[in-house]
A and B are shown apart, each in its own frame.
Chain A
Amino acid sequence: MKYKQYVLVCSGTACESSKSKDLIDALYHEVLAADLGADIQIVKTGCFGFCEKGPIVKVLPEETFYVQVKPDDAAEIVQEHLVKGRPVTRLLYDPQQSKAHAKLEDIDFYQKQVRIVLRNCGVIDPDSIDEYIARDGYVALEKVLFEMTPEGVIDELRKSGLRGRGGAGFPTWRKWEFTRQVASDEKYVMCNADEGDPGAYMDRSTLEGDPHSILEAMMIAGYTCGSCKGIIYIRAEYPLAIERLNRAISQAKEYGLMGEKILGTDFCFDIEIRLGAGAFVCGEETALIASTEGGRGMPIPRPPFPAVKGLWDKPTVINNVETYASIPVILMKGGDWYAKIGTETSKGTKVFALTGKIKNSGLIEVPMGTTLRDIIFGIGGGIKDGKKFKAVQTGGPSGGLIPEQYLDTPIDYENLGKLGSIVGSGGMIVMDEDDCVVDVTKFYLDFSVDESCGKCAPCRIGGKTLLTLLDRVSKGTGTDADIASMKQLSTAMQRASLCGLGQTTPNPVLSIIRHFEDELNAHIKDRHCPAGKCSALVRYEIDEEACIGCTVCARKCPVNCIAGERKQPHVIDQERCVKCGACLEACKFNAVIKS
């Protein structure tokens, strides 16, 4: 090692917003002040995944893992740890821990994880091609160019069992094989980085933490399918990822790893970045192509599939960020190695964005087949604030809610499908007793309706009608007949919608009809929202006995609907109340009752 110690600081988006940039500056300053500039290197890395506890700092070689480090802590880390060799215990994840150097592996958040896609995130400086190369970067490309035929690459992917991580789970090798077989003077390799699923950010972290892995995999796809042009379609809302990708592309070109005659062979490949502009439907590959062509991102019927007629009517292979990130490792270690991880039908690992009412939210990577319980209560540390688990939602607006009795289900494409949900791109949102399934489903449906491109009637009209029906339920005016209509509409949408968006829009609705009948019935029959979320079914009242007439609630009320003299019990005008709950929050005497 060139330096005696390395200080790795996370600079993913979440940690940067927790002031990790200032922290890096402070560390530099302190290291120079202590005259350690020659011994210690400070490295800004990609996402460690443990966003809940960011900013994260890791000191090598001892691997001490610090959490929630503030710029003001820099002096202590340098003086105590780097100068005197004593770790700053108060910044460890578990300060009570007996070991002097608590490592990342000691923390339950990391114990069940297997990091293949995220192998370099939080390990290397994403802006340094040298660090990527030092971690076997571009070795797979070299191996493919010099030792493998395109058929050989496809065979290896077939053996690996890798399936598309964008949501649908189509075998990657077949996509490549189809595109390779079509004869054409021009073909395209595209990367779908238009991560639009609310509550999911695995692609963002991968691109920000390890951009070269995507470039390498796209070039391998180019060599295999006979294409020399790659396009990354990325959300404009991810400026940091775009900046790092651009830098990675120019570095790769400088090193002769991209452009003409790559590594001295006849293989040429160039990658260009195209920005998305906020349209969820562009995750659908034909819509993504329409958008890249500069128009409205509306899907078209398939076939012809993009493998035959894609971008500019040329054969095009489109894969998701996470799929690409897995490929260099598979080709280095072999398909058989990869196939040992996971379940019978779903191989390898999957990255999930574990968020919601969970103790340790963050980005995790687990082998397929890990149970939901292991993820939520093991890695995630269970529910926050001692609340009770209600449901976990996977697959975002296209997925469904899964109740407690299925928590021991091993995750794979088929199992989640049987439960009425999907693996999807990897959003995993945990809900507790305070969340209402009707309210959450309305949120998803509202999203899908807003994002429907409007081209086909089942999605455009069906989604809107479903939302109207569900809205009635949430207002206490729904009937059993409405549930029957929702089921019927859902079936029609699943069968007749043009693309995946419309086909999966009913999934959240169907999942609550199936798994949360009691809660749904409470809304319909009892006109009651058990979680107290559906505002139309909530009533705020003031307990005359408990109210001392302090007037705080009346002053806090945004619509002035609370009346009463000072030192006299107050009354809420139910007609005008907007049910915001401000009075409940404001009352110090527990006199406001929510029912």
Chain B
Amino acid sequence: MTVHHDCDVLIVGSGAGGATTAAVLAEAGHHVLIVEEGPWVEQGSVVPFSLDQMDQQYRSGGVTVALGMPSIAYTEGRCAGGGTEVNSGLYWRPPEATLDSWRIKYRIKDFSTDDVLSICEEVESTLSVQKVPGEHTPASDILRRGADRLGWKNDEIPRWMTYRDGAGATEGHRQSMTRTYLPRALAAGARILCEHRLNKIVRSGRRAVSAELTDMTAATDGQNAVTISFRDVIVCGGAIQTPAILQRTGLRHRVGRTLAVHPTVKLAARFDDVVNTPDDVSVFQVKEFAPNISFGGSASHPGLVALALTDNWRDFGSAVTSWPELAIYYAAITSEGRGLVQVVPGVRDPLVTYRLTKRDRDLLGQGLGRLAMVMLEAGAKEVYPSFKGAPVVRDRADLAAMTTMFAVARASVMTVHLCSTAPMGDDDKRCATDSHGLVRGTDNVFVNDAALLPEAPGVNPQASVMAIAIRNARRYCADRAG
């Protein structure tokens, strides 16, 4: 038995791009249906940054990798609300210089910096973006203290959180998509089908006409087929799934060829006191070397501390019993390298590869060294860099030795910021879509998520994703009204 649905607009994915798009379109009167591969998980029902959360809300349990030398581990949210449900919730407006550069380089029409920043203001209001009114976690204070002692620029990054007056960092309530834009969309008449996996978008010439899905909640295989007919489809599956969906639909022009990420390397640092707050991350970032290199804090559950020590277990392993005194930090870079997302016939998941340039490798080494310096200045007794063969760093002499020993091929490189696999703009040679997300070669297939960002913005990208998605959704409504 096949279940059939009809709608004006099918939105594939419910994260930062999909949820905002759905709210704008539904409130403009369009009959919107959202399909989401993952489940709807209420905030607070799973422990943040835990393996349980990874099981429920991440694709492949959080174990996904872009192959290369070295390979880069990455994560994708796979749940209602997407990455906004599981990430740190840190909010950065896109830098003005970045927006200016994108507009010129990719020939993006109607893309004034003022307009985008004006939408950012609306997003900040909707998501209650704010700084922590009360005390910060010890892990946050470490970054601030270390950077201050070095005279390096650092700042608290606001988050999409609500707090009662004077509440501390761990007492906030995350204002993710399931708390904000998705309820707005649903209140305006949109529907959402969770745990429905898109198999195929069916085209007739330049038009997509229907979608074939699998209802993963159905008890038996014979009862899980779903088809959806629509006027337009907007793909918002994120920077990995969106290009895979487009390629499987036969749309390949500049699709999946320019994956951009912020590669990061990590270390664990040990202090005299308890500094580990397992369920939260640092809200401070060090921007002295931005946009090339930034430092921040990572989730530090005891399991993740063990993970950070794994590469040198013989030398570092004994520290694991002191995990309450350890916290994990990262150095992230803006990368000149690029990656590929390619579907392989007969295989469900795309092949993802990424190649770091020599400059990227050098920056990662510099970043790790400077991050270790911040830790030592903040009072770390021991620093454990995450690369095979790394020494324990206790002082500046160890730091110098560590810097010379660093080789990115032996490092655990990872990222949580992925974008640019279907870049937007009127430059046909660079861009997969037009300036508002319409996929080239089609009349009714749009992209509206991180895949559109022409490059990695050098800051947490979800504010950029939301602002651009709202901009494009409004343009869509204006065009369809006309």
Partners in one complex: no
| Chain B positions near chain A (C-beta within 8 angstroms) | none
